[in-house]
Structures are given as structure tokens and as C-alpha cells.
């Protein structure tokens, strides 16, 4: 519910009028994909893949997909003129892609989201508007969410220093089913809040600044 509420604020009713959705109902992302437009009176246009737009114009107002799929749509010039928001996740977003979207389509805003399933999917969000250009960042923590970059001692690192990402707040899951040891290892106490029992999720491990384990 926290993620759905935040997404309603990010995108607004106009962008959610006809949202393209290709997520299977049994994936954790489905709650976000399907319910956000439906809770504001929008329409969900269900396809097996966003690449369906290569075959036909579905008149959608919002596309949520990965950068690689978006590049394919741009190459074929198949981004519908009705699309106002492109929401990108799962892969890194670079300047060239964002600038190309604004230069060749009618899209008004490109958004970038990040978060693992263990934190009920998205924990950070950032938006780039037409006219403002590319902003090289993954965004900020969504409402009721805390994001920390910590060292091996779980202490905050200075700006510009490589660390490991931890996520706390409303979206943190309960743990892994039948995985007590892994739950204890990855869901750890949050020392930065006063409330007893608050936990944060450890997204992965680093070795000399290189991630060697963890969720994408």
C-alpha cells in the first residue's frame, strides 16, 4: 500500500489513464503494476511484453520496462505518441537513452526506479522532465523508506565513497520462507532509528567496490 500510494503521487492520473503492463500476476511486481492505475480509475493494457508495441499502437499513456526494451522501441520508432511517461527499471539508465527518448518521442517525463523484491520492490525513485535533461542519479528514497550507504562496519560512508546499500522502512519484508539463516543474515537491526525491532535489508556484498552477491 505504501508503494501504491507513492506511485500515485509520482505519476498522476493523466499518465495512468492507459498503462501498459506485461508482468505476470504471480510476481511480486504485479501488485504495483496492476493496482496503481486501477486505484485511480485508469486502464491496464495487458500484453506479454512491451515489445508488443512493435506490432501495434495500443494508445497507452505510460510504459514501464527495461532500458534494453526501450531502445528496441526507439530503434523501430514504435513509441506511441500518446505516451507521456516512461518508467525504467531493472537495468542501468544512461544519458544517451534519456536524451534520445526526449528527442524522438512525445514523452514528458522519464522515471527511474530501483529496489529488490525483499523490500516490496521499489525503494528509490527519480524523475527527469523534458527540458531539464538527464540527471545522473538513481533518485531518492520513496516515502516511509530509508536508504543507507554503509561500510563493512555498517557505518555511513562519506559522499563519493563506495559502500553497500541498505534499505529500511515500510517496504522491508519479513524474511525468506524456510530460510531462517539467510533471513538473519540479510535482515539486520536498523541502528539509525529509535523504534525497537526495526530492521533494514542488506542488498549485497562488496569486494573492493565490486558487488559479488545480492539482489539487483
81 and 23 in a common domain: yes
The CATH number linked to 117 is: 3.40.50.980
CA atoms within 13 Å, Cβ hemisphere of 204: 14
Residue 2 has pLDDT above 90, yes or no: no
Q: In what order do the strands lie in the sheet with 18-21?
A: 43-46, 18-21, 62-65, 85-88, 109-114, 124-129, 140-141
pLDDT in tens, 45-59: 999 999 999 999 999
118 and 13 in a common domain: yes
Residues of the domain holding 192? 145-208
The whole-number pLDDT of residue 45 equals 96
Last residue of a domain, one of 141, 160, 194: 141
Higher pLDDT: 211 or 33? It is 33
User: Which pTM value belongs to this model?
Assistant: 0.84
- Whole-angstrom CA distances from 170 to 11, 141, 145, 147, 212 are 20, 11, 6, 12, 27
Q: Is residue 215 part of a domain?
A: no
123 and 38 in a common domain: yes
150 and 136 in a common domain: no
The CATH number linked to 171 is: 2.30.38.10
The whole-number pLDDT of residue 208 equals 46
For the beta carbon of residue 105, count every other beta carbon within 10 angstroms.
21
Last residue of a domain, one of 108, 141, 174: 141
The grid coordinates of residue 216 equal 539487483
Mean pLDDT of 78-88: 94
Amino acid at each position: 500500500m505504501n508503494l501504491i500510494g507513492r506511485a500515485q503521487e509520482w505519476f498522476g492520473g493523466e499518465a495512468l489513464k492507459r498503462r501498459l503492463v506485461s508482468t505476470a500476476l504471480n510476481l511480486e511486481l504485479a501488485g504495483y503494476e496492476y493496482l496503481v492505475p486501477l486505484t485511480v480509475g485508469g486502464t491496464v493494457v495487458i500484453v506479454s511484453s512491451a515489445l508488443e508495441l512493435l506490432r501495434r499502437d495500443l494508445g497507452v499513456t505510460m510504459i514501464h520496462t527495461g532500458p534494453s526494451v526501450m531502445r528496441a522501441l526507439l530503434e523501430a520508432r514504435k513509441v506511441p505518441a500518446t505516451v507521456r511517461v516512461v518508467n525504467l527499471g531493472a537495468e542501468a539508465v544512461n544519458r544517451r537513452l534519456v536524451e534520445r527518448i526526449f528527442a524522438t518521442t512525445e514523452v514528458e517525463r522519464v522515471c527511474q526506479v530501483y529496489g529488490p523484491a525483499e523490500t516490496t520492490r521499489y525503494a528509490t525513485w527519480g524523475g527527469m522532465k523534458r527540458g531539464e535533461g538527464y540527471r545522473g542519479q538513481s533518485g531518492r528514497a520513496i516515502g516511509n523508506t530509508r536508504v543507507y550507504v554503509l561500510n563493512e562496519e555498517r557505518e555511513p560512508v562519506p559522499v563519493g565513497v563506495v559502500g553497500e546499500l541498505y534499505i529500511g522502512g515500510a517496504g522491508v519484508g519479513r524474511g525468506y520462507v524456510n530460510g531462517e539463516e539467510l533471513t538473519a543474515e540479510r535482515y539486520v537491526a536498523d541502528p539509525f532509528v529509535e523504534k525497537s525491532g526495526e530492521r533494514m535489508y542488506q542488498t549485497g556484498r562488496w569486494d573492493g567496490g565490486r558487488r559479488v552477491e545480492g539482489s539487483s
